[in-house]
Copies of this chain bind each other. A is one copy, B any other.
Amino acid sequence: MQLTVYLAGQIHDDWREEVKQIADEKNLPLDFVGPQTNHDRSDNIGEDILGEQPSGFCKDDAASAVNNLRTQVLMQKSDVVIALFGEKYKQWNTAMDASAAVTLGKPLIIVRPEELIHPLKELSNKANITVETVEQALDVLAYIYE
């Protein structure tokens, strides 16, 4: 049974590659989708498509409209969502996607370091399970196939 997994979370390192590599090693029949991981492209996509905008606010609004459409299409296609929180940045998109997943009835796995236990406690309580490493998240998915 092929499953599609949405990888929500930070786009500042290559954790998604690690996810895919582990899935490959475990031979899991998973397809991965997620947000644009080129940060500049993600910030500029509104202007890239619509042309120059009159203000920073408008540039951000246009970019977020395109990013949100992408997320909406791909999350609706997904069977499970993994949301990874790192120690830097606001990461409100990650929280937004994780909460949307739960509200839509999509199973949610949160990955976060121990330091974030307290600030993430309510979101973590809503998730199906919270783990500390990407490898553990894949262990959870692998268990579906045992």
A123 and B58 contact, Cβ closer than 8 Å, known pairs A69-B128, A99-B99, A100-B99: no
What is the interface of chain A mostly: helix, strand, loop, or mixed?
Answer: helix
* Other-chain residue from B66, B105, B116, B132 in contact with A129 (beta carbon distance below 8 A): B66
Interface residue range, chain A: 35 or more
Kindly provide the distance from the CB of A66 to the nearest chain B CB, expressed in whole angstroms: 6
* Other-chain residue from B68, B69, B97, B143 in contact with A66 (beta carbon distance below 8 A): B143
A128 and B65 contact, Cβ closer than 8 Å, known pairs A1-B31, A31-B1, A77-B79: yes
Residues on A facing B (Cβ under 8 Å):
1, 3, 31, 33, 36, 38, 41, 45, 48-50, 54-58, 60-74, 76-77, 79-80, 89-93, 95-100, 102-105, 107, 109, 116-126, 128-129, 131-132, 136, 139-140, 143-144, 146
The contact sample of 27 A-B pairs, CB cut-off 8 A, is: A36-B143, A36-B146, A49-B131, A49-B140, A57-B117, A60-B117, A60-B121, A61-B125, A64-B125, A65-B125, A65-B128, A65-B129, A67-B122, A68-B125, A69-B80, A69-B109, A69-B129, A69-B140, A71-B122, A73-B107, A76-B79, A90-B90, A91-B92, A92-B119, A95-B99, A100-B102, A100-B103
